[in-house]
Amino acid sequence: MNSVKTPPANMLSLSSKRPQTTATVILAAGLFAYSLYWLNSNESSQLMWLMLIGGLLGLALFHASFGFTTAWRNFIINRRGRGLRAQMIMLSVTVCLFFPALSAGELFGTEVGGYIRPLGYSVLIGAFMFGVGMQLGNGCASGNLYHAGGGQLRAIPSMIGFMIGGLWATADYEWWMELPQLAPVSVIEQAGVVGAILLNLAVFAAIAGITIWLEKRSHGEVETDKVFADITNWRRYLQGPWPFIWGALALALLNFATLALTGRPWAVAVAYPLWGAKLAMLLELELDFDFWTYWLQPGRESALSESLTSDINSVMNAGVLLGAFLAAAMAGKFSFEWRLPLLHWIAAILGGLMLGYGATIAFGCNIGAYFGGIASGSLHGWLWLVAAFAGSYLGTYLRPLFKLDAQTSTASTC
């Protein structure tokens, strides 16, 4: 006998799941196209192309359900490493593309440089906080963007927390930077391009090998992607779902395109403190940004006075949102979902605060510090990965305190 389950009394719910129509696709495509046109007309062609790259990133993230939070939790709880192995493929392709360009110092006529950051307590503690926050907030920096773009409005509390936490960290930034830290280390400079690539590929292979060994030990077999299934079906490219590996390759190539256009790797989290500062200014809060070390760094002080439409990171983040919206509409999966028990709201906001604070003091998030740091050949990217994975381990086991399911399906959703 079928029964209808009623949401608990303490659950805030706004859910509307309707079959997608052509109008939804037209709306998503029209909004995206108009945004590109507006940027080209009012800002610059570079920002137009960057929003397009952001849109393709959002589409790839949504169709491949490619992410970090659930992939890590899936390995921690279920010993399923398909998502982690996809990340290793993404990183392998990326270092092969990035390292020669970074060593040369230019790409297609554009001066390029990586994220080479110090190794210190700020990275260690910030990344650990981020790891806890991504499990409590049910999403990482990129994951929250494409979830929100796909209609999952429950990502909004985490994003709000992210902005507040990031802004809070900018006030404390000077204190964190004064803590003991080691000088930045570039593997490219230390080992040369070929040596750095081979060293990184060996580490990626070792991580993938460990996931295979533990997965076989736990389940007797290893999950694999059907990479070439329906490869001639053009609808699958537009409507999904994609294998993880398709998402991994798309992110690697689009990050390389970002490097060619901006001269540096893709970053996501750096936009959140700026959004928080803009909101504080809009609310006329008494905050002395002129005296905060974070905002005195080159480029950041001017960002406070300029429009968000001229900020590269904000434009790309908006592109991810719009790309995910278009992908969800084409897949017939767009629906407003805001169904969150009170404890989940608390976890989302708390997780968001930890995401924002941690990413700001750790020189980035899973994109800017982990993906971008390792792609830059910086040792701090590896320190970030270890600390964030440890934090994610703790966060996974804290989830039941907020009535969040510690288990996860075999698919990665963020």
Residue 231 included in any domain = no
Name every residue whose Cβ is closer than 8 Å to that of residue 357 and which is 6 or more positions away in sequence: 126, 129, 165, 166, 168, 169
DSSP state of 378: B
How far is CA 331 from its chain centroid? 22
What's the CA gap between 251 and 151, in Å, rounded? 22
pTM of the predicted structure, to 2 decimals: 0.90
14 lies in some domain: no
Residue 29 resides in a domain = yes
pLDDT tens-digit profile of 201-212? 999 999 999 999
The predicted pLDDT at position 18 comes to 45
Domain assignment of residue 229, yes or no: no
Q: Can you tell me the distance from the alpha carbon of 217 to that of 236, in angstroms, rounded to the nearest whole number?
A: 34
Stretch among 37-51, 60-74, 111-125, 289-303 having the lowest mean pLDDT: 289-303
CA angle in degrees (0–180, nearest 5) for 73-240-141? 40
Split into its structural domains, the chain has a count of: 1
Q: What percent of the chain has pLDDT over 70?
A: 90
Dist CA 124 CA 243 (whole Å): 32
In this predicted model, what pLDDT tens digit does every residue of 65-87 receive, in sequence order? 888 999 999 999 999 999 999 99
| Residue 181 DSSP one-character state | E
**pLDDT higher at 125 or 238:** 125
Q: Quick one: pLDDT at residue 300?
A: 82
Query: Considering the domain boundaries, does residue 412 fall inside one?
Result: no
Q: What per-residue confidence (pLDDT) applies to 410?
A: 38
Pick the more confident residue, 243 or 387. 387
9 in a domain, yes or no?
A: no
CA neighbor of 364 nearest in space, from 140, 145, 83: 140
Q: Which two tokens stand for residue 94?
A: 């990326």
12-16, 223-227, 321-325, range with the lowest pLDDT: 12-16
To the nearest whole number, what is the mean pLDDT of the chain?
A: 89
For residue 243, the model assigns a pLDDT of 87
Q: Determine the pLDDT at residue 290.
A: 77
Residue 8 lies in a domain: no
Range of the domain at 120: 20-221+244-402
For the residues of 48-96, what is the DSSP string, one character each?
Answer: HHHHHHHHHHHHHHHHHT--SHHHHHHHHHH---HHHHHHHHHHHHHHH
Residue 172 pLDDT > 70? yes
| Cα-Cα-Cα-Cα dihedral sign, residues 223, 224, 225, 228 | negative
Q: What share of the chain is helix, strand, coil (3-state, %, to 5)?
A: 70, 5, 25
Mean pLDDT for 107-127 is 95
Residue whose entry in the numeric block shows the structure tokens 């537009």:
238
Binning pLDDT at 50, 70 and 90, where does residue 15 land? Answer: very low
User: How do strand 106-107 and strand 119-120 relate by DSSP bridges?
Assistant: unpaired
pLDDT of amino acid 228: 60
CA–CA separation, 214 and 84 (whole Å): 12
Answer whether residue 77 is part of any domain: yes
